[in-house]
Amino acid sequence: MKPMFREGAEYAGKNPRVLITDGAHNYIDGARAFSTHGHPITHIREIRLTGTVHNNKMESMNGEIRDREKVMRGLKIEETPILAGMQIYHNFIRPHMTLNGETPAEKAGITVEGENKWVTVIQNATVEKRQLR
């Protein structure tokens, strides 16, 4: 766990102030790795579905990735576009029961118009990329 947490902190450019995990014991050592750098970290080990702080949303996305990865027999390329596609699907296309049939994007006020949301997202990404050049 420690190398993964260190890599995450390096990518973010800072250590977290709060770490929210499930009840797995291997996260305890990872949380300690952050605390040894002189800045204490609050480690919330929320293992219930209820409560005000939990990692249910992240676990939902992880479940989708694990389900897909089993069918694919693993992700063989580290920089695979599959994960980015799954994130787009999860956030912009797939309605969520816990959000009353809305996507996370819709819940945040971002709407994707059109009959085929995949086509709309790709067209918008293409237009935006052309404008950046």
- pLDDT tens digits along 52-61: 666 666 677 7
Kindly tell me if the per-residue pLDDT of 86 is higher than 80: yes
Interatomic CA distance for residues 87 and 91, integer angstroms = 6
Q: φ, ψ for residue 33 (rounded to 5)?
A: -60, -35
Place 133 in a pLDDT band, splitting at 50, 70 and 90.
low
Tally the residues of the chain: 133
What pLDDT score does 119 carry? Answer: 92
pLDDT in tens, 9-51: 888 888 888 888 877 888 887 777 776 556 778 888 766 666 6
What pLDDT score does 9 carry? Answer: 81
Q: How far is CA 32 from CA 3, 15, 25, 96, in A?
A: 12, 12, 12, 35
- Domain segments of the chain: what residues? 2-45, 56-132
